[in-house]
Every structure is written in C-alpha cells, then in structure tokens.
Amino acid sequence: MSDNENNKKRRPLKSIPPDGFPLKTGLIWVLIIGAIVALFLLNPAKSPQPAVLNVQEVLELAEQGKIAKGNIRSDSTGGKDWHVMSGETTEPILRNAAGLETKAFTMSDRVTDSSYEKLQKTKVIVAKPATTAMTQLLYNILPFILVIGLLYFLFVRQLKSAGKGALSFGKSRAKMLTRDKDRITFADVAGCDEAKEEVGEVVEFLKDPKKFQKIGGRIPKGILMVGPPGTGKTLLAKAIAGEADVPFFSISGSDFVEMFVGVGASRVRDMFEQGRKNAPCLIFIDEIDAVGRQRGAGLGGGNDEREQTLNSLLVEMDGFDTQEGVIIIAATNRPDVLDSALLRPGRFDRQVTIDLPDIVGREQILRVHARKIALSDNVELAVIARGTPGLSGAELANLLNEAALLAARRNKKKVDMSDIDEARDKILWGRERRRVMDDKEKQALAWHEAGHAIVGAVLDDGTVPVHKVTIIPRGQSLGSTTYIPTKDILGRTKKQYLDRICTAMAGRIAEEFVTGDISDGASGDIKQATKIARMMVCDLGMSELGPISMGDNQDTVFLGRDITRSQHISEETARRVDAAVTEIITGQYKRASEILTGHRAALDKVAAALLEHETIEGVHVTEIIKHGEIKSPVVAVKPPKLPPADSAKPAGKSTSEASDGPAGAPAPSPA
C-alpha cells in the first residue's frame, strides 16, 4: 500500500458546520422529543398487577384508615349500571395474584346501593366520574388527532412553503411591480432620446387610447429593445413602468425554462392569463433570447422544452384566440439568434435600438448619476464625456462610483478631477501594480513604450492622439501607451487601420534598437496587428484581393446556425490571403522602423523621461518631437497610500487588445 493511500485512510473526517444541516435545529429537537414520548406511551413501564378485593375487605381497610384514596366509575356495558371501584392503600400491604406486594386494588364484585352508602360513610371515595360512550370514544381518538396535527404542521406546511405547492409549479413567476416603490421615470434615463420617444408612444396610448383609435391607429403588440449590455434596456423598461399608470409585470426569460417538459409553456399561458385579467397592462421579459432562440438548429427536436415554450409564446402573442390589452416589452443583446417568427409584425411590431451613447448622451448620463455624488468645483462632466468614448451607461455609472470610493478611501469630502481620471484609467486599462524590475528590464520597457508613443504621435491626424505613456504595470501589461479619441469614431479608413498596425509594430523595433535582441513583451502587439490585417483582407476588402468577404464560416453552430459547415474559399485563395496579411504586416513593420530611425533623438528622450518620471502625458511626447524637450511640467506619480490590492496575474506577455470594430472604447498599446 502506498503512502498516499495510508494518508487518505488516516485523514480525519471533516467537521460538519453548525449551519450545514438541511433541517432547522428546533424541528430536529421536536422530532426527537416526539419520538421519545411516543415510545414511552407505546411501551409503558410494566407495574405490578393490582390486588383483587371484595366489598367487605375494602370496608374493613377503610375502617382501619389504611385506604389512601378510592375511585368509583360507572360502566354501562351490557345495559346495566355497574359501579367499579379501584384505589390505593397507604402502604404496600396487599398481595396480587403473583404474590407481589402492591398498594393498588380493584373490586371483584359490583358495588350495590347499600355498599355504596357504606363506602361514602368511610369518606374514602374521592370522585364519581360518569363515563359515557362519547367520552370513552373521545379518550381513544384524541391521541391520534394530536399526532396527525403534529405531523401536518411539521411536514405538510414545510413542503408547501418550500415548493409552494405542487399545483402552483406551472404558475407564472412574473412579479407585479408597485407604482410607488423606487419609482423611475423618463427623467432618470438619459442618452437614448430616440428610444424614449418610441416607447413613450406606448405610455401615451395607455393614458389616452382614443387619441390613436380615432384615426384607426393600433398600438404595437410587442416592443423589442436591442442593444449592447449596459446601455439601459432594463432601466428604460423600469421607466415605462414608472410613467404608465397601468399594471406592470416583470419576468426573466430564464424563468420559463425548466427541466420538466411543459412547465415553461404552462407558465407562459398563466402569465398571459394574468395579463388579460389586468388589461391593459405591460409585461416585460428580460433576456428573451434565453427562450426565443431560433428553432430547428439540429440540437433537439420538436419535443424540446425550450421550443415548446417558444411555441406557446408565439401563439399567445398573435394566435387564433388573441385579445387586446396586453403589451409585451422584451430586451436582448443577441437579436441575431432570435427566431424569425418572433420578430415578425403582429408579435414584435417594433424594434427599438439602444446603442452606445454619443458624447452628448454620455454627458447627460453623467449628470443623472452625479446627482447623488458630492463633486468638486473643478469637475467638468463635458470633459469626462469627451474622454470616455465607447463607454455604456452602466460603465459611466461605475466610473463615478469608483471615483467616489477612491475619494472616500483618500479621506476626501468631495470627488475631484484627479479621482475621476484615476477611476477612468482603472476601468479602461486596469489598476496600477507596482512590481519590482531591475534596470535592464525597466530600460527595455521604457524604449518599448517610447516606440509606441513616437510612432503614434507622428502618425496622428488629430483623431486619436496619445493620452498617456507609462512603464508602471497596469492590468495585464507591464507598460502601456494609451490613446483617447477626440470625437466618437463611427468608422475607420484603410490608412487609419494601417497606422494602427504600424504603431503596434513600433514597440518591438524600438526595443531591438537598444538591446539588440527581441523579447516576448510584444506578443500582444503582434496578435493585435495580425487580427487587424486579417480583418482588412477577409472582411473589409482592403487588399489586392478586392472587395470580397471571406469570413462567413466563422459562425457558431450552438447559436442557432446550421450544423454542416462549407468552405467558402479554395486552398489557393487561402494562400493568397495569408500572403496579403503577411505583406501588410511586413510593410508596416518597415514603415515603423523608418519612422523611429528618423526620430531616434526623440525616441531616446521619451525613454529617458519615462525612466525618470515613470509616467508622462501625450502632450510631453508632442513637445519632445517638436521642440526636443519637455516644456510642460510633469506631475510626479506617487504610489497611492491605499491598502494593497490583490496580486494580479504575472505580466510577461500582454493580452490586451484594442477594439477592431468601427467604434469602440480606447484601448492601450500594451508592452
């Protein structure tokens, strides 16, 4: 036997925590005490049999004062009134049939009227209870009634409270919202004016339906709100509930799906039945893609529980027996996987797109969330809105909350601009992590980031300038060169994509200029550049292959697509694609090398400034390129006097990547 097996056998058992039992402690003690009492009643301790005496012997003992108590009860068995007497003597002076001493005795003959009078004179009769058939029956049934009642309250009520009853398993879990508790109105929603206008028609119709019915208008039966996560779809639904003076039911798409077949469809029917009883009303289904995914994808047949739930939803929204007055509002961030029958007019008549807010919308959102935060006078929400492109409403709310927490930890009474800048850098690029690096690693990192900064500043056309350069580890990168657009980017040109690839390649080139070697610090840059180049060739048609899309085979079967997969390009075309991607990357690599060679003096000065200050602003990089030195003062970055953060993952290779779409949040150029 091995040592591991011996250790397993000698290992002590884990102790059970006091709160780890499935039943309550009080219930356990009640069951234990009840079991003990039941055993005692069913198996009473056997006492000696009483002695049998006649009337004369009882009278003699009574005259001698040796009877402690006596009891006479009437027994009407057989239609006659029998008087049966029993009692106890003062001392165990009697012997029963087994020869054992005892104090208990019973009468062997019937007590007559004359003997009853004699016993009354001795004053040993304590009571004369009249036992009838009804009282005898009650004495026999009462213990069973008590036991059944105990079992009912201990078990049946527990099961009902836990499972809410077997009959209510298929009932709808939609919650009816109260109108006064935590009421949210359209004034609390910002950054989506067009969406508020569209859903505002529903509220206006519910308040004054005759206005639309006079000209033959019909309110949409369903409104589908589509948008990225965090853009305010659920918040807008809460605002509709606050504005509309009608019943509002809220439910999640996952509440319909259960492991038991038919439960989801039953809940859908029950939900619409509740809606018809409270019509006109609004029903909000959050994350409807959990139940409304495309049917017939090959994963599960017609008996699939999710498909039955979807079929029931389709029929209830616009089937043969449809009633007016129930308006469905649903939200999802995956409209591409929804079933086409669910999106047709008559079910979801209108799709409201809630996109990421623009610069005006971001400022409005910041003003809404800044109502509850004490802001300093130097905080300009318009400046924050310009510096946070691509952030959703939820991320902007998180930005102000992080700034408030940071100011509180620094013992400030108000949130100033420095707290918001630190919170923005933390959300976008991660928190600073002070790591110990030797001079050689620090030098290579400084030239790496200086290469990104020089090429990025030279190629900048005023759209995406350099924001900050640092060699302090942040997030998963050892250093970063960050860029913040001056406006919302809705699309990029081929030149802008090539400039991004050129900037990504500059870090490795600058590092090689100084050390004469290359390292794995540029792995994130290489992945980012390769991804952009392949997207240009395969999706955007920005190569010599022409405007041809060759990325159609990237869909996932589990999102409701076909099981079979066909190859859209030949092997020869695939080789040409690889050659075009290689040509783009090598060309921009050569271009970045030429730029850095022509600005070698500026490269050295930016790297020296990073080694001295660790963090410099984008304006400092521009001043070095134009004037050869830094003109503006450099604010020294001191380690924050805060509790140490959790240790992050080892940062040898960076995994941060910039957004490759037409629009997105700014991302660092990692080391």
Quote the strand ranges of 248-383, DSSP E.
248-252, 281-286, 326-332, 350-353
Half-sphere exposure of 361 (CA within 13 A, CB side): 22
> At residue 268, what is the residue type?
V
- Tokens 């639904």 sit on residue: 237
Distance (Å) of CA 219 to CA 211, 242, 372, 476, 582: 11, 19, 37, 51, 56
Quote the strand ranges of 457-529, DSSP E.
466-470, 480-483
Q: Which residues are annotated as a binding site for Zn(2+)?
A: 448, 452, 525
Query: What does the block give as tokens for 645?
Result: 């953060």
At residue 664, φ and ψ (nearest 5 deg) are: 175, 175
Q: CA 338, CA 294: separation in Å to the nearest integer?
A: 5
336, β-bridge pairs: none
Find out whether 430 and 598 touch, Cβ atoms under 8 Å: no
Find out whether 610 and 450 touch, Cβ atoms under 8 Å: yes
Find out whether 84 and 107 touch, Cβ atoms under 8 Å: yes
**Number of Cβ within a 10 Å radius of residue 151:** 11
- Catalytic-labelled residue, pool 395, 422, 449, 512: 449
Q: Which residues are annotated as a binding site?
A: 227-234, 448, 452, 525
Q: CA 597, CA 191: separation in Å to the nearest integer?
A: 46
Q: CA 609, CA 202: separation in Å to the nearest integer?
A: 59
Q: Which residues are annotated as a binding site for ATP?
A: 227-234
Quote the strand ranges of 209-319, DSSP E.
222-226, 248-252, 281-286
Question: Taking each helix axis from N to C terminus, what angle separates 571-598 and 494-515, rounded to the nearest 10 degrees?
Answer: 60
Q: What is the bridge-based pairing of β-strands 281-286 and 326-332?
A: parallel
Q: Which secondary structure element, helix H or strand E, spans residue 54, and what is its range? A: none
Query: What does the block give as tokens for 414?
Result: 């108000």
- Is 422 part of the annotated catalytic residue set? no
Preceding omega of 280 cis (within 30 degrees of 0)? yes
Q: How many residues would you count in the chain?
A: 671
Active-site positions?
Answer: 449
